[in-house]
């Protein structure tokens, strides 16, 4: 090389290139030698100003040095990029021998477990599931169930009114009247599981919101024996073959006679213990023979048709089945509570 300075630039560049150890460093080298203000680029622009005899040799030498530096940089840049990628892949390698993440499935709220189980038992006996609104009219919630205005039986339930004639249903019994209106005198065999609302103390055994399963059977020649047999079968399927039931006289405006139904205590088998308060029995539901007024008001001739009805508190059944000590636990969605029922589902 004739031009000493060009040789120096080439040597310095090749040294810097060989020393660059990252993509960033090699890019810096590129910028140093090829920026407009660099000495090499300055020499390039000098070519045009030289007399012809110097121009050729100098031009060739500058071009050669520029070409050598550029290809050395490209080669090193490629090598460094490959090395960095390999390093990154190594660092991000997935260790397939690590245990996987454990996505445990959740568990059904015991309320729903029991509601579904109760529903299945009645479906097995030939009942159909009926439905009704939770926002109900005074007419269906009270009047058509033989609970006229000012009837004292309203006092226990008169609760969440939306306007003078509309309220959150206080029981699932209005579905009785709704079904009778829909079936227009045809035989009926329905249950209705659903939410109900009424004023109550909110404590371990009471809640202003709870759920019931209503039952209604209407046909010719239905008698209280049918009610008893149905509920006995339900009690045995729900609480075990050994459970017996007993019917006690009671009062509901929409049934006559009315009964309250107890099952023998699962804890003591009927001998008497803390759980059954020494009686040997635990109350589980109310029921009775559909009152003739109710039949009449809802389009069924009480001389031809008779029927029975019942209402069961779902949470109450779940509490008895699982020994749950506080009704509010059903609604709080605390996973520590819910997970306890995992295996039973």
Question: Contact positions toward ligand DAH, by CB under 6 A?
Answer: 171, 173, 214, 252, 255, 286-288, 309-311
Q: Is 293 helix (H, G, I), strand (E, B) or coil?
A: helix
Q: Which is nearer to ligand DAH, 270 or 313 (CB)?
A: 313
Which CB sits closer to ligand DAH, 72 or 217?
217
- Minimum CB distance to ligand DAH, residue 274 (Å): 25
Q: 9 or 121, CB closer to ligand DAH?
A: 121
- Closest CB 241 distance from ligand DAH, rounded Å: 26
Position with the least CB separation from ligand DAH = 311
Contacts 24+ apart (CB under 8 A), 255-259: 255/287, 255/288, 255/289, 255/290, 255/291, 255/294, 255/308, 255/309, 256/288, 256/289, 256/291, 256/292, 257/224, 257/288, 257/289, 258/286, 258/287, 258/288, 259/224, 259/227, 259/286, 259/287, 259/288
HSE at residue 149, side-chain half, CA atoms within 13 A, is 5
CB of residue 210 vs ligand DAH: minimum separation in angstroms? Answer: 9
Query: Quick check: 258 and 287 in contact, CB under 8 A?
Result: yes
Measured from the CB atom, is 207 or 255 closer to ligand DAH?
Answer: 255
Residues whose CB is less than 8 angstroms from the CB of residue 309 and which lie 6 or more positions away in sequence, other chains included: 173, 176, 214, 215, 216, 217, 254, 255, 287, 288, 289, 290
Rounded CA separation 281/268 (Å): 9
Least distance to ligand DAH from the beta carbon of 150, Å? 19
Residue 340 Cβ, how far from ligand DAH at the closest point, in Å?
A: 29
Cβ neighbors of 200 (< 8 A, separation 6 or more) are 206, 207, 208
What are the tokens at 55?
């121009």
Tell me the closest approach of the beta carbon of residue 288 to ligand DAH, in angstroms: 5
- Would you state the structure tokens that stand for residue 343, as one six-digit string? 């295996």
128-129/188-197 β-pairing: parallel
Angle of CA points 219, 291, 181, to nearest 5°:
60
Cα–chain center distance at 247: 39
Nearer to ligand DAH, 265 or 314 (CB): 314
Distances (CA, A) of 314 to 86, 135, 295, 318: 63, 20, 26, 6
Q: How far is the CB of 171 from ligand DAH (least distance, A)?
A: 3
The first and second tokens of residue 66, run together, are 């520029």
Minimum distance, C-beta of residue 156 to ligand DAH, in the bound complex (Å):
8
Closest approach, Cβ 285 to ligand DAH, in A, equals 7
With respect to ligand DAH, which residue has the nearer C-beta, 76 or 291? 291
Of the two residues 193 and 287, which places its CB atom closer to ligand DAH in the complex? 287
Specify the residue, 54 or 260, whose C-beta has the smaller distance to ligand DAH.
260
Q: CB nearer to ligand DAH: give 310 or 341.
A: 310
């Amino acid at each position: 090389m004739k031009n000493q300075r060009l040789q120096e630039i080439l040597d310095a560049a090749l040294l810097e290139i060989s020393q660059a150890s990252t993509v960033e460093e090699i890019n810096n080298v590129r910028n140093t030698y090829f920026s407009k203000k660099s000495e090499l680029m300055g020499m390039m622009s000098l070519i045009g100003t030289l007399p012809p005899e110097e121009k050729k040799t100098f031009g060739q030498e500058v071009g050669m040095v520029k070409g050598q530096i550029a290809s050395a940089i490209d080669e090193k840049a490629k090598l460094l990029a490959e090395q960095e990628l390999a390093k990154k892949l190594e660092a991000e390698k997935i260790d397939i021998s690590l245990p996987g993440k454990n996505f445990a499935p959740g568990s059904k709220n015991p309320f729903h477990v029991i509601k579904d189980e109760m529903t299945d038992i009645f479906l097995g006996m030939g009942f159909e599931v009926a439905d009704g609104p939770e926002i109900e009219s005074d007419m269906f919630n009270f009047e058509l169930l033989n609970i006229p205005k000012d009837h004292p039986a309203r006092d226990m339930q008169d609760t969440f009114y939306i306007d003078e004639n509309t309220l959150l249903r206080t029981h699932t019994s209005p579905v009785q009247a709704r079904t009778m209106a829909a079936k227009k005198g045809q035989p009926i065999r329905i249950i209705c599981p659903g939410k109900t609302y009424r004023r109550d103390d909110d404590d371990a055994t009471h809640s202003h919101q709870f759920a019931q399963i209503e039952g209604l059977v209407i046909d010719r020649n239905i008698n209280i024996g049918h009610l008893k047999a149905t509920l006995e079968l339900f009690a045995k399927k729900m609480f075990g073959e050994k459970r017996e039931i007993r019917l006690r006289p009671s009062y509901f405006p929409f049934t006559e006679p009315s009964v309250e139904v107890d099952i023998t205590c699962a804890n003591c088998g009927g001998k008497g213990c803390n759980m059954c308060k020494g009686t040997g029995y635990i109350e589980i539901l109310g029921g009775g023979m559909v009152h003739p007024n109710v039949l009449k008001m809802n389009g069924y001739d009480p001389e031809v048709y008779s029927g029975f009805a019942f209402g069961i508190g779902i949470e109450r059944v779940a509490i008895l089945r699982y020994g749950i000590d506080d009704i509010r636990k059903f609604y709080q969605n605390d996973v520590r509570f819910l997970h306890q029922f995992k295996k039973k589902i």
